[in-house]
Amino acid sequence: MTRHARAIRALLAGTALLATGFSATAAVAQSKIAVITPYLSQPGTQFYVEAFEAAAEGKDWDVNVIDTAGDVAAVISRIEDMVTQNVDAIVINVDPTQVTAGLQSAKDAGIPVIGMDAGADPLLVTNITSNGYAMAAETATYVADRIDGAGNVVMFVFEAFPPVQVRGVVADAVFGNFPDITILDHVTPDVSDGGIADSRAKMEAILAANPEPGSVKAVWAAWDQPALGALQAIEAAGRGGEGIVITGIDANPQAREAIAAGGNFEASVAQDFKGIGATAADVVARVLAAEEIKQGSIYVPTQLITASNAAE
């Protein structure tokens, strides 16, 4: 019989094991907010979520962060569970078109869903993100200003990816407003290896075709990788001293390092991930206070990164 008892005890231990998970959930809070993402292990997402939690601290919220470890279908499942649980608001960081099933069930239940750099969608109250148009305008005007509104500019663009495509459109508009700026080429690099190597190869070809010093005044890149590739090409060709101005967008660590070094790569734009998280918390508070949010997208300002602040 003792053997049986032991086996039963082992079974009961399972229930005890379950119970250990719940100690923290007893606290009663006024508003239940669920933050659901498949991407918590990615640095950008971590910044949003941490900033969201920090901003939520002063408020009377019970914030439940759910990571589905890359599984997008599980995001739908967890949204459904949160709808069942009748939470007060849901914040997502995932492409809304992929979780429409979950968003629909939230809408049917009258639960507001806010996007945290998710993408605009009619089923979201609003989406908090960086302004891609403004980021491109920031670097394009920097370039135009640095070359005194005159000279040949090489543009690195990428039409296939919508968020990057808009950057190219805006830069074209800015350069088009300067009659003495000529766009030498719109280059679309092959990004299958990350984009740096092919951008370098394409830039080397352009430099070879334009050997006169001053025949290329600037390189405007829609993101950082082509800017880094162009920088390598210019340095390898021994033309680093011509004052060719390079700009990128995103301010990734490698780009910041290059900008801080004070060479041709002069500027990039950083998204304010923490600001996106904090703004999302602010928007949730406004939605809970029954304020109507009119914009489908709420933009968080970005920051121009130059040699003076690249190391920050």
Partner 1 sequence: MLTLLRRYGTLVGFAAILIFFWVSLPDTFMTARNWLNISQQMSMLIVVASGMTIVMVMGDFDLSVGSMASLAGIVAAILFTFDYPIWAAVSVALLVGLAGGAVNGLLISFVGILPFVATLATLTMLSGVAFVVSGGKTISGRAIPESFGNFAREGIALGDWGGVAVSLPNLTIVAIVVVALVWVLLEQTTFGRRLYAIGGNIEAAHLSGVAVRRLKLIAFSLTGGTAALAGIMYASRVASSNPTQGSGLMLNAIAAVFLGSTLSEHGEPRLLYTIVGVLVLGVLDNGLTQLSVDSYVRQILVGGIILLAVSTSSYARRLN
User: Which residues are at the interface with partner 1 (CB under 8 A)?
Assistant: 3-4, 7-8, 10-11, 13-15, 17-19, 21-22, 25, 32, 62, 64-74, 76-78, 80-82, 84-86, 95, 97-101, 104, 192
Decide: helix, strand or coil at residue 273.
helix
* Smallest distance from partner 1 to CB 104, Å: 6
- Name which of 38 and 168 has its Cβ closer to partner 1: 38
- Name which of 68 and 225 has its Cβ closer to partner 1: 68
- Name which of 3 and 294 has its Cβ closer to partner 1: 3
Q: Give the integer Cα–Cα distance in Å for 129 and 291.
A: 20
8 Å CB contact between 129 and 297? yes
* Smallest distance from partner 1 to CB 287, Å: 20
* Smallest distance from partner 1 to CB 212, Å: 39
- Name which of 188 and 306 has its Cβ closer to partner 1: 188
* Smallest distance from partner 1 to CB 253, Å: 23
Q: Give the integer Cα–Cα distance in Å for 49 and 72.
A: 18
Structure tokens at 226: 């082509």
Question: Residue for token digits 């590739």?
Answer: 229
- Name which of 191 and 293 has its Cβ closer to partner 1: 191
8 Å CB contact between 272 and 303? yes
Decide: helix, strand or coil at residue 252.
coil
Decide: helix, strand or coil at residue 242.
helix
Task: Look at the chain and count its residues.
Answer: 312
- Name which of 54 and 109 has its Cβ closer to partner 1: 109
H/E stretch holding 220 reads: strand 218-221
Write down the H helix ranges in the chain.
Answer: 2-20, 43-56, 72-84, 100-108, 132-146, 162-176, 196-209, 224-236, 253-260, 273-288
Q: Give the integer Cα–Cα distance in Å for 62 and 84.
A: 16
Structure tokens at 52: 């969201």
Question: Residue for token digits 């403004």?
Answer: 134
Question: Residue for token digits 């968003």?
Answer: 103
* Smallest distance from partner 1 to CB 161, Å: 9
Q: Give the integer Cα–Cα distance in Å for 122 and 125.
A: 8
Q: Give the integer Cα–Cα distance in Å for 297 and 23.
A: 38
* Smallest distance from partner 1 to CB 285, Å: 20
* Smallest distance from partner 1 to CB 15, Å: 5
* Smallest distance from partner 1 to CB 87, Å: 9
